[in-house]
Amino acid sequence: MVDVNDQADRAGPPPALARPYSWTEGRTQPSVDIAVEARVVTTPAGRDLPPRLTSAAWTITQLCLQPRSVAELGAYLAVPLGVVRVLVADLVAEGLVHVEATLAHDADDAERRELIERVLSGLRAK
């Protein structure tokens, strides 16, 4: 006789309704390079959208009415950072969000150290 409870224990957790990478149609690389600490802000064009976008993309535009980092968005959506980067890059391409650079490409060591110290300070404050 088959023990149903035993089979349920071996089956593992139930599958998610939609796997995160299905939100990006399997894409794992964003069209633009976006740092995890970069802040994302909804543009005026993205502020009053009807929820015609995918639910994750629409949620990002709503969350970013106040600036949020890519890492924060990943935590809010409970998805890998790669997924968030692809979604944010898509929204940037549509003009619905803007990514604020945290450092210039030619930033020196002092600027990089200052950024790390600000991040650590923010983490300690939470």
Confidence at residue 11, expressed as pLDDT on a 0 to 100 scale = 43
Task: Tell me what pLDDT residue 78 has.
Answer: 86
Maximum pairwise Cα distance, the chain: 69
pLDDT of residue 13: 38
Tokens of 7: 């089979």
Domains in the chain: boundaries: 21-125
Residues in the chain with pLDDT values less than 50: 1-17
- Only one residue has tokens 């069209």, namely 31
Return the pLDDT at 17: 46
Radius of gyration of the chain (CA): 19
Q: What pLDDT is stored for residue 123 in this prediction?
A: 64
- First-last CA distance in the chain: 54
CA gap 102, 112 in Å, rounded: 9
